[in-house]
Amino acid sequence: MKILIIDDERSIRNSLKEILADEGYDVDVAENGAQGCEMVDKEKYSVIFCDIKMPEMDGMEVLDRLAAMGIDAAVVMISGHGDIDTAVECIKKGAFDFIQKPLDLNRILITIKNATEKVSLVKETKILKKKVYGQEMVGESPALIHINEMIDKVAPTDARVLIIGSNGTGKELVARNLHQKSSRSAAPYIEVNCAAIPSELIESELFGHEKGAFTSAIKQHKGKFEQADGGTLFLDEIGDMSLAAQAKVLRVLQEKKLSRVGSDKDIMVDVRVLAATNKNLKEEIEKGRFREDLYHRLSVIVINVPTLDERKSDIPLLVDHFIGQICAETGMTPREVDSDAMQLLVDKTWTGNIRELRNVVERLLILSGARITAADVRSYVL
């Protein structure tokens, strides 16, 4: 674990560095605020000790700069002239703790322990949120900018959205962002993969069933619509849903009520429905495999997610993003990607889209050396 000490008094920073080094910590020092901020920009620290009274850039200015940089480190402010108002001001600005001089070793060690636990908890929470709710869509291509603008406009409404696009393009991510940016974000977000559920079970999964409704119905079961009440229901691969289930979904959308399998009692539900498919639903309608009335109910807004080959300018950003994400999750050391290796990735045809790209990045991280080279891409990807 790395610790940074920012203090204009040489005796303070050197003695603190020596003490913490004896405790097994990796410690850097900076003699002023500007130097400290430069070091933070280049190196990752878990805990930063920062003096408040310093010439040119004082500790409060450093705290503001670090907050603007969006660092994850716990910042501990230290001062020989501390008072309650100063301590409160520091905490309001985002400091983890405030310690008065002369410094007490036991207090410092306890603060470091608590700070590292807090940093670890924040990181775990960020990873968990990304797994549960997804994350921002990465890229700066015109196609992606258009999608993000659509999400920002549509999310606050209750309009139903049909998300279309090839496998692996990130349709699920669009749906999660629509939910997270909506007024229903604190309510349930329920996903259903219609292609993964057998046709004979889809009605039970969506609408629930009563005990004894069929042989294996040993107890009452609430369906996905009821589970999503007040929130959002995402029907993924809706083009694979049976016509019988489509008819019931249409009724719920029209009347905002459903009945469980084995019951004739109506249950009112308030659900925003998002749907996605990799099929051409207009062709499915012509072939009699999808209801036209349901299509019109679902497609109040249509968002077409482009393939990765249609947004190649985003590939370098996505590669860097996946390197950071995978290394954070697995503990692997981040690697640089040589420019000619990156060009090979940009030029490749991505039939599996973003999902394939992430798998390729993980493969290269595992199999490459200190850097990801063009030879690595040719050997393990092309």
- What angle separates helix 315-330 from helix 353-367, to the nearest 10 degrees? 60
Q: Is the whole-model pTM more than 0.85?
A: no
In contact, 271 and 140? CB cutoff 8 Å: no
Which neighbouring-strand residues pair with 209?
221, 261
pLDDT at 289: 93
Q: What are the CA-CA distances from residue 362 to residues 238, 279, 298, 333 (Å)?
A: 30, 29, 36, 12
Structural domains of the chain sorted by starting position, each given as residue range(s) with its CATH number in brackets:
2-130 (3.40.50.2300), 142-304 (3.40.50.300), 311-380 (1.10.8.60)
Q: What is the mean pLDDT of each run of 10 residues along the chain (382 residues)?
A: 88 88 90 90 88 86 83 84 76 84 84 82 61 67 92 93 94 93 90 86 84 74 89 94 89 88 86 95 94 94 95 94 89 90 95 93 93 94 89
pLDDT at 68: 78
pLDDT at 203: 83
CA distance 167 to 362: 19
In contact, 39 and 65? CB cutoff 8 Å: no
Please name which of 77, 274, 320 lies closest in space to residue 175, comparing C-alpha atoms: 274
pLDDT at 315: 95
Please name which of 129, 130, 233, 227 lies closest in space to residue 179, comparing C-alpha atoms: 233
Backbone angles phi, psi at 233, to 5 degrees: -115, 125
pLDDT at 23: 86
pLDDT at 133: 45
The 3 state secondary structure assigned to the chain is CEEEEECCCHHHHHHHHHHHHHCCCEEEEECCHHHHHHHHHHCCCCEEEEECCCCCCCHHHHHHHHHHHCCCCEEEEEECCCCHHHHHHHHHCCCCEEEECCCCHHHHHHHHHHHHHHHHHHHHHHHHHHHHHCCCCCCCCHHHHHHHHHHHHHCCCCCCEEEECCCCCCHHHHHHHHHHCCCCCCCCEEEEEHHHCCHHHHHHHHHCECCCCCCCCCCCECCHHHHCCCCEEEEECHHHCCHHHHHHHHHHHHHCEECCECCCCCEECCCEEEEEECCCHHHHHHCCCCCHHHHHHHCCEEEECCCHHHHHHHHHHHHHHHHHHHHHHHCCCCCEECHHHHHHHHHCCCCCHHHHHHHHHHHHHHHCCCEECHHHHHHHCC
CA distance 137 to 153: 16
Place of tokens 């497609």: 299
Place of tokens 């990181």: 123
